[in-house]
Amino acid sequence: MSIKFRKVSDFNRGLIFELLTDAYLFDCRYEQNCSSDWQEFDNFFFDNLQIADECGFITTLNDEAIGFVSWDPRNVPDYVEIGHNCIATKQKSNGYGKMQLQEAVNRIIKNDVRKIVIMYIL
């Protein structure tokens, strides 16, 4: 097992949308309610790779993208919102989501943030 956390800019446009779509296959309401937002988010990150690489990353397992996490730093130092945090369906229940979230938290706290908020939208 080789888990790595890589820059978004190492990947092609569309990957974030694909990961989010796959991760939420368990409930079709997510895709129905969020698909256009996911596509817009994917476009934003790939149009703004500097922001993407500073505020998110892709988790890989043996060089295959299996997850994605991002955060909004606009309210630092008061708080940071973790927005998207997903793991591909076939890799769930293996502890990768916990590892991904811990890596995100480790990166965020380097900015002396007082609080980390997890966003949940449906």
CATH match of 3-118 with 3.40.630.30: yes
What is the C-alpha to C-alpha distance for residues 109 and 107, in angstroms, rounded to an integer? 6
Kindly report, residue by residue over 37-66, the tens digit of the pLDDT.
999 999 999 999 999 999 999 999 999 999
Kindly report, residue by residue over 19-31, the tens digit of the pLDDT.
999 998 887 877 7
The total number of residues written for the chain in this structure? 122
Q: Please give the structure tokens belonging to residue 7.
A: 């820059």
Question: Can you name the residues that pair with 3 across neighbouring β-strands?
Answer: 61
Neighbours of 92 (CB within 10 A): 15
What is the C-alpha to C-alpha distance for residues 66 and 120, in angstroms, rounded to an integer? 20
> Can you give the residue ranges of every domain in the chain?
3-118
Kindly report, residue by residue over 55-94, the tens digit of the pLDDT.
999 999 999 999 999 999 999 999 999 988 999 999 999 9
The whole-chain average pLDDT of the chain stands at 92
What is the C-alpha to C-alpha distance for residues 44 and 52, in angstroms, rounded to an integer? 8
Which residues, 6+ apart, have CB-to-CB distance to 47 below 8 Å?
A: none
User: Residue 38: what are its φ and ψ, rounded to 5°?
Assistant: -65, -40
Q: Tell me the pTM.
A: 0.91
